[in-house]
Structure 1
Amino acid sequence: MLNRSKLLFCALLICGAGALPAFAEMERDRIARITTPTSDFSRPEKYETMQAGAATHRKRVNGDAFSHPSANMAFDRRLYFEIGDGIFKKMWVSSPASTQSSDGLGPLYNARSCQRCHLKDGRGAAPDGLQAENGSVALLLRLSIPPQSDQDHVRLNSGAAAAIPDPVYGGQLQNFATPGQTAEATVTVTYEETPVMLSDGITVFLRMPVITLTDPGYGPFREDLMISPRIASPMIGLGMLEALSEEDILSWADPDDRDGDGISGRGNRIKSKLTQEVMLGRFGWKANQATLKDQVTDAFSGDLGISSSLHPANAGDCTPAQSACMTAPDGGDAKSGNVEINDHLLDLVTFYSRNLAVPARRDADDPQVLAGKRVFYEAGCIACHRPKYVTPRDPLRPEQSFQLIWPYTDMLLHDMGDGLADNRPDGFADGREWRTPPLWGIGLTKTVSGHTDFLHDGRARNLLEAILWHGGEAAAARNRVIDLPTGDRENLLRFLNSL
């Protein structure tokens, strides 16, 4: 008979798989009333400060604000969180090594640990100049090429592939290599600035990153290579986003803009390596990962070159054209199916990622914050940044089960205009579409990460710049912000910084 601890860990494994219970019919009307956006900005809404329901933590606000476990976690589950934290921070080494449980790095890689990209479980910073291996600089370059055959088109259109990788450099550029190997390139980032005039005469300069690749390690880059830079996203609240029902998320989708409001969000669809089914994408800047375990294993493979049961290639993102990389020593363990991180450790990292708690709101009752909330709602921002949900009941995910949460995202893809376009398809997402990122915790970015770089590549140096980069479906809301009186705009920023 399994003991209680073993049963709990079995539940962790089941939780990775995906299908979620729907609400009981009798609850639907009540939940609909609770989650309808408010029109009363005279006081905070009930439970508004608890952004992730009972899982919200109320610990002291400092640099560790994104690193606490779900506040409603039972004591006997805390051990799994703490061990997962240790693996998340582990510095991997190249093979062969005396520490077999920590070897297998690379041969090509971007970071030596998960923590090096998600420093203190927060947001990566945008580099300026030469990209260095630094815990606070975590710019990744996604690579792909246009479809080359009918089969490529079929794979993309069916959700079987997120993008077509470069045949030489793979799906991600690795700018570091283990001893004896050759890094793929040197990455340099510079910026070009464009002024934007606000209605009160203030000029804001928006910066556009310019990526330069030099020292190609495996021959010249293709002329049709598509490159998209990324910084790491904050880790908080991911379990709540995974818990949301697909039905609830897609209830806000309007791909044909039938209501004529100019907003036409849609879901991405991608084949999950975990379930081997095409599912709704939830994670990543273009929602190209369906489950947290998919996201975690893809990061181990692409960022660290660490293989797993879902990504069994011990050479990571290396391609057959990179022969030395393909034949390099690896850390595969025969007892774990010849992979470098076994399922037990992988599930612990996934559990840790699922249960990083969202901090409580600050200053929700401040009159200026409430005034800024009104501006946010009335400017139309909530058309994409959906304020609140209730997660389904799920006994296998007790921390995420039946919680009223306030992530301010619809989890859908939206056309964000030419300014933010990377012109690179990713699953069903086209080159102008991005998933609406959640806003909870955004006001603590400086506290946790030491900077205020926002958007997918960190180009925005503060929240106002991030707003002003919005185009496409968000252009109308952005223009309303441009036209705001100074006081209203400052209150809007106060509201965002209270999240």
Structure 2
Amino acid sequence: MRYLIQLLLATAATTAFAAPPDLDAPHLNVIPRTAEEAARIATVTAPATEFDRPEPFETNPAGAATVSPRGNADTFSLPSGNIPFERELDFKVGNGLFKKLWVSSPSSTLASDGLGPLFNARSCQRCHLKDGRGHPPEGPEDDAVSMFLRISVPTTPEEAMSEIEAFLLSVGDSTPRTRPDPVYGGQLQDFGTAGHPAEYRLDVRYEEAKVALSDGETASLRRPTYSAEDLGYGPLAEGAMLSPRVAPPMIGLGLLEAIPAADILALADPEDADGDGISGRAQIVWSFEHARPMLGRFGWKSGAPTIREQSASAFAGDIGISSPIFDAAWGDCTTKQTTCRAAPHGDGDARATEIDAEGLDLVTFYSRNLAVPARRDVSAPEVLRGKAVFYEAGCTSCHQPKFVTERLEDQPEQSFQLIWPMTDLLLHDMGEGLADNRPEGRANGREWRTAPLWGIGLTEQVNGHTQFLHDGRARSLLEAVLWHGGEAQPARDAVVEMPKADRDALIRYLESL
């Protein structure tokens, strides 16, 4: 039930929004900053104004938690560079749970049963390949294990559940709602255990479109069309909205969680009061673990407030595994899917949920401490020129370069670090080209969270591809830039019109991140 409530909230769109005054994460033991520290932070996070040399500490985007990149596909799978020795065992056990292949019930492996019955993957690692970026299926022989479709349908406030409605009313929202499909739930699962048909098969078709660039260059963008084929439980509900998602990289999540909410909210400008065309908005979601509204940070539209809650939601929706936060043993199966709900599950007398609190904590610790690799070639002249172009084109209006994390009593790895995630963690209108036309929380059908850019230049090394954006449509960093619209349209147009040498330098800079 709580998982369905979360899905209902995650698909509720709002416009006018009075944010609650306290959106900080109550699970973080924060040591308040002094006035002297605040002044120092303002100085070190000020935007760069000179580009003839790297800024101090720019090589280490995760502060002391940064690690030296390996020359292989394991470079996103290392623990925080400053992790104490006594905490490394927790990281390794969490890694084991992240990789663990769950099996269907009943099973002799009692600690691993409970899969599905409907699911997208058998483990976290199957979607977050090498802790990196997923990809869309490439041809009929390639499955969509690191990509799925979210689904929701229009609804009315009267049909919305009371807990959700109370929250939305408390923040002044009165806009139309959406809810999960009454049969298929909040996302479509493309696998089923024995005796349970999969919900669908993902079909992707592309249409190529040429884009003219300066200096006689051209680029080609592929516009995707997604459909749910071979539906296993009847037609989708009328008005069903589908939105594709590839698994995002896992690095640096604990540092993003440790950025003060006040620092993120200070960047929001929902009415574009400064007239710069950028109107970032904070995503506010309901935390089911803490029973309060919180700042959304995780997911393509910031639908989850904490790493632990995001992990529990993924266990429920992607693998069909219950946890202390979302305790339905059947995951995303709806009341219409009676066979799924009546099937054997992995909870019972021996354990209340299929992954217990200790296991969820270990997965959370692992996810929190996947390290960000160090920058490469930060002093190279072309990289420095590309950085200047990045600033001049206005990219930093959304891809905020620097923050300083909270002082944390019990998280030394994330405590008081100067970090360079290249995101403001806000929602921005990205234009019609990237629109999924499916609301999620405060995000409307054209808005997405600014994606962190740290580590993006190592995607091919880790995952063997260069496919970017929320659905992997962009086959290169340049294509990803060219898909930007809405608030980012002026920056995108500047890239189209700038000399080829500057455009090449910009891509070189991005590859160094």
With the length of structure 1 as denominator, give the TM-score of the two structures: 0.94
Larger deviation, residues 143-152 vs 316-325: 143-152
Deviation at 1:132, TM superposition (A): 4.6
Find the aligned partners of 1:447 and 1:369 in 2 and give their Cα distance.
Answer: 19
- 2:73 maps to 63
- 2:261 maps to 246
Counterpart check, 1:174 vs 2:174: no
Deviation at 1:16, TM superposition (A): 8.3
- 2:133 maps to 123
Secondary structure of the equivalent of 1:311? coil
- 2:271 maps to 256
Deviation at 1:233, TM superposition (A): 0.3
Find the aligned partners of 1:60 and 1:245 in 2 and give their Cα distance.
Answer: 31
Preserved CA contact (<8 Å) 1:162 1:426 = no
- 2:235 maps to 220
Deviation at 1:79, TM superposition (A): 0.3
Secondary structure of the equivalent of 1:190? strand
With over 3 angstroms needed to count, the CA separation of the structure-2 counterparts of 1:301 and 1:423, relative to structure 1, is: same
Read off the aligned partner of 1:25 and give its amino acid letter.
A
- 2:19 maps to none
Deviation at 1:23, TM superposition (A): 2.1
Find the aligned partners of 1:410 and 1:464 in 2 and give their Cα distance.
Answer: 21
Find the aligned partners of 1:196 and 1:401 in 2 and give their Cα distance.
Answer: 45
Counterpart check, 1:144 vs 2:152: yes
Counterpart check, 1:301 vs 2:316: yes
Preserved CA contact (<8 Å) 2:201 2:229 = yes
**Superposition pairs for residues 215-364 of structure 1, below 5 Å?**
215-337=230-352, 339-364=353-378
Question: C-alpha deviations, 1:451-496, integer Å up to 9, x for none?
Answer: 0110000000010000000000000000000001110000000000
With over 3 angstroms needed to count, the CA separation of the structure-2 counterparts of 1:246 and 1:163, relative to structure 1, is: farther
Find the aligned partners of 1:35 and 1:83 in 2 and give their Cα distance.
Answer: 35
Counterpart check, 1:207 vs 2:217: no
Find the aligned partners of 1:22 and 1:164 in 2 and give their Cα distance.
Answer: 39
Equivalent of 2:492 in 453, 478, 485: 478
- 1:154 maps to 165
- Unmatched tracts of structure 2, length 5 or more: 1-24
% of aligned pairs identical? 57
Secondary structure of the equivalent of 1:200? helix
Larger deviation, residues 421-430 vs 15-24: 15-24
Question: C-alpha deviations, 1:157-212, integer Å up to 9, x for none?
Answer: 35899951111100000010000111111211111112111122212111111112
Deviation at 1:128, TM superposition (A): 3.0
Counterpart check, 1:80 vs 2:82: no
Deviation at 1:336, TM superposition (A): 3.1
Larger deviation, residues 189-198 vs 304-313: 189-198
- 2:424 maps to 410
Secondary structure of the equivalent of 1:45? coil
Deviation at 1:335, TM superposition (A): 3.9
Preserved CA contact (<8 Å) 1:242 1:282 = yes
Read off the aligned partner of 1:371 and give its amino acid letter.
R
Preserved CA contact (<8 Å) 1:16 1:291 = no
Question: C-alpha deviations, 1:224-252, integer Å up to 9, x for none?
Answer: 00000000000000000000110011110
Read off the aligned partner of 2:318 and give its amino acid letter.
D
With over 3 angstroms needed to count, the CA separation of the structure-2 counterparts of 1:303 and 1:155, relative to structure 1, is: farther
Find the aligned partners of 1:369 and 1:72 in 2 and give their Cα distance.
Answer: 27
Equivalent of 2:35 in 19, 25, 38: 25
Find the aligned partners of 1:263 and 1:34 in 2 and give their Cα distance.
Answer: 23
Find the aligned partners of 2:241 and 2:139 in 1 and give their Cα distance.
Answer: 21
Secondary structure of the equivalent of 1:145? strand
Question: C-alpha deviations, 1:117-144, integer Å up to 9, x for none?
Answer: 001000001213448547xx51111111
Read off the aligned partner of 2:321 and give its amino acid letter.
I
Find the aligned partners of 2:308 and 2:266 in 1 and give their Cα distance.
Answer: 25
- 1:45 maps to 55
Find the aligned partners of 2:378 and 2:346 in 1 and give their Cα distance.
Answer: 50
Preserved CA contact (<8 Å) 2:156 2:178 = no
Deviation at 1:59, TM superposition (A): 4.3
RMSD over aligned CA atoms reads 1.8
- 1:4 maps to none
Preserved CA contact (<8 Å) 2:284 2:295 = yes
Equivalent residues, number: 482
- 1:11 maps to none
Larger deviation, residues 76-85 vs 137-146: 137-146
Counterpart check, 1:393 vs 2:404: no
Find the aligned partners of 2:300 and 2:257 in 1 and give their Cα distance.
Answer: 15
Larger deviation, residues 205-214 vs 448-457: 205-214
With over 3 angstroms needed to count, the CA separation of the structure-2 counterparts of 1:162 and 1:60, relative to structure 1, is: farther
- Unmatched tracts of structure 1, length 5 or more: 1-14
Preserved CA contact (<8 Å) 1:407 1:439 = yes
Find the aligned partners of 1:396 and 1:335 in 2 and give their Cα distance.
Answer: 31
Deviation at 1:26, TM superposition (A): 2.0
Larger deviation, residues 182-191 vs 419-428: 182-191
Question: C-alpha deviations, 1:276-297, integer Å up to 9, x for none?
Answer: 1110000000001000001000
Find the aligned partners of 1:208 and 1:97 in 2 and give their Cα distance.
Answer: 44
Find the aligned partners of 2:59 and 2:230 in 1 and give their Cα distance.
Answer: 50
Preserved CA contact (<8 Å) 1:156 1:162 = no
Preserved CA contact (<8 Å) 1:92 1:112 = yes
Secondary structure of the equivalent of 2:333? coil
With the length of structure 2 as denominator, give the TM-score of the two structures: 0.91
With over 3 angstroms needed to count, the CA separation of the structure-2 counterparts of 1:243 and 1:426, relative to structure 1, is: same
With over 3 angstroms needed to count, the CA separation of the structure-2 counterparts of 1:59 and 1:453, relative to structure 1, is: closer
